Chains A and B, each alone.
Chain A
């Protein structure tokens, strides 16, 4: 992988100190290079000065002896003029004639008198100034001996520059040590600073991850930084968000509950109406019995009327019980569950003078089994929604289709079309909250669909209005859980 990409993926707490260190290393290298370069120049100048002073004295002293090729006098001069107090001393001095024949040297045993100068040795004397060879720790300098504008000989001087090189090494070591220390310190400070800077982010991240997992928690007081204004305000904003979210969820639940109660209330009044209708007949029948009970014909007819009326009441009560006490309905759904629901919406239908077209071609298979309670609840909500959406005198479509793979419940209305928000609630699931009580019923449908792994599809109706299709897959093994 590209190292730059690699690097970018490192956490800031590593990246920033690494950048600081790299920068410091570059700066150190540049500074060290400059210092050493300057030091080299200073040392070269110093050495040049020393060498010049030495060579000047030696040239003045030996020139007549060189002219006479007086080896002894030259040797004596070299010995006498050898400085002893400087920290840089000539380690070897050789005086030659114009043909580079050694006239005398400080060490005649290695540079034999009156022999040609070793070419390897003279080769080290390059250039007009002092040339330093770090390997031999020596500085090499040559001076021509000029007499009456004639080149009469040369002086080769080798200086022991160990002390200069030592100084160079010492300064390099000092630079390295200082720079390393400063670099390490800055790296550490960088690391600490960045860590300190990003700690609030990490806290926030932890809480956000928790929130994404569904359990948002407030950032505790003890986690608040003592002085960091920015982080504190971010924390406060986050906490405010969590608070308002919690509030909203609570409100949503409350609204859902209220809506449930409201629809229950509507149903209850509908049911009361349903019960009240036969009650009038029942009361008449009872009255008839009281007055003409001895008449066998009348009596039997009245009892039949009473029985029919009571049966109708029982149907309504059972349907209501089946829907609103789903815990009693953990049994599998049956065909009658769907026809039952007609009874529950009948009061509303009647109120709005609407008609319900119930079609259920075929029978429900024995398997798979779907839980009756949630399905009844969901379908009732869809029906009530359709009733509310359709104009007075409209028709509500209610079709149950069974195939090998699924159970499909289709509810159509003749309304103006489902609002986008309601449609999103139905199709996209729980992440979209019910808005201000609108479409709470639909939200409950969506919840139930999620539990049952069902698919909800909303489309425009065949002629007008809206068609909502709830499709439950055949998954026998999950029925008990879903229930």
Chain B
């Protein structure tokens, strides 16, 4: 895991994450203000999401601030692990994380709201290959360079890992090399450019990007779509679950489709709303985690 931090220190020049830089600055500012201003909600975002849109982040924060009455700090990190660690350690009030870390830290975390895509709090993981490739099943991907999104991502790692495990395969041997790109968009870029021959990616991100960056996504095609799994949720530290801030945040998220400003945010996120589902929607992910227990 130290490797992840190392990447964080020297990989932050990414053009895509001017955002990362912005987030880092926001974080630095937040660190100064967090305790001085108890009326601030520190909201973490993972790269699961279309975090490379500053306009979206501005609109989202503005909506949350106007709805909750709190100041909102949006905090982004390069890896899932960093955000999860901040959340679990209580340095964030809430964070939009992935289903896999939520399951892993189930005892420390509580759901705030689950986004709805096409009206359901569910999404799929896609196994993608380049558009012109004639592969038809997972077996055809043997000896590929395979791009994962993040070792803590459900759709960008766990699903494929579990699939291989079910077939008695180990990704370290089945693939010639696996690489982590720390972003679903990067997985698509890696596969589209040919750097990797196949990749594991968030189906929601792939579908949404098909509208936003059609020429990039057109270079790839889904080879296999997973079963429907729980959408990456907004979670909070269990110790903060009953706080006013979380209640306000939860309310703002659940009522987001009712507000003009909120609908604009949803439009940008290509989501339909948020729901207060129970943790049972993550059972599918939980069973994969259980299956791989002792292996990961």
Chain A interface residues toward B at CB < 8 A: 61, 64, 68, 70-73, 75-77, 80, 104, 107-109, 112-114
Contact = CB atoms under 8 A, between A and B. Distances in A.
30 contacts: A61-B13, A64-B6, A64-B10, A71-B145, A71-B177, A71-B196, A72-B147, A72-B179, A72-B181, A72-B190, A72-B195, A72-B196, A73-B7, A73-B11, A75-B193, A75-B195, A76-B11, A76-B186, A80-B13, A80-B15, A108-B194, A108-B195, A109-B193, A109-B194, A113-B177, A113-B194, A113-B195, A113-B196, A114-B176, A114-B177
Given A76-B186, A108-B193, A113-B196, A71 B179 contact: yes
Nearest to B10: A64
Interface in B180-209: 180-181, 186, 190, 193-196
B34 to A, nearest CB: 31
Contacts of B195: 71-72, 75, 104, 108, 113
Contacts of B186: 72, 76
Interface of B: 3, 6-7, 10-11, 13-15, 145, 147, 176-177, 179-181, 186, 190, 193-196
A114 B145 contact: yes
Contacts of B179: 70-72
Nearest to A105: B195
Nearest to A110: B194
Contacts of B14: 76, 80
A107 B192 CA distance: 11
Nearest to B176: A114
B187 to A, nearest CB: 9
B47 to A, nearest CB: 13
Contacts of A108: 193-195
Contacts of B194: 107-109, 112-113
Contacts of B196: 71-72, 113
A213 B167 CA distance: 120
A109 B181 CA distance: 18
A72 B180 contact: yes
Contacts, number: 49
A74 to B, nearest CB: 9
Contacts of A80: 13-15
Contacts of A72: 147, 179-181, 186, 190, 195-196
B86 to A, nearest CB: 23
Contacts of B180: 72
A36 B281 CA distance: 73
A75 B7 CA distance: 14
A76 B7 CA distance: 13
A51 to B, nearest CB: 21
A73 to B, nearest CB: 6
Contact of B3 (A68, A104, A109): A68
A63 to B, nearest CB: 9
Contacts of A112: 194
Contacts of B11: 73, 76
Nearest to B190: A72
Contacts of B6: 64
Contacts of B190: 72, 75
Given A71-B195, A73-B11, A76-B186, 20 more contacts: A68-B3, A72-B180, A72-B181, A72-B190, A72-B196, A75-B190, A75-B193, A75-B195, A76-B11, A104-B195, A108-B194, A108-B195, A109-B193, A113-B145, A113-B177, A113-B195, A113-B196, A114-B145, A114-B176, A114-B177
Contacts of A113: 145, 177, 194-196
B108 to A, nearest CB: 30
Contacts of A75: 190, 193, 195
A321 to B, nearest CB: 131
Contacts of A77: 13
- The CB with the most chain B CB atoms within 10 A, among A61, A72, A76, A112, is that of A72
Nearest to B15: A80
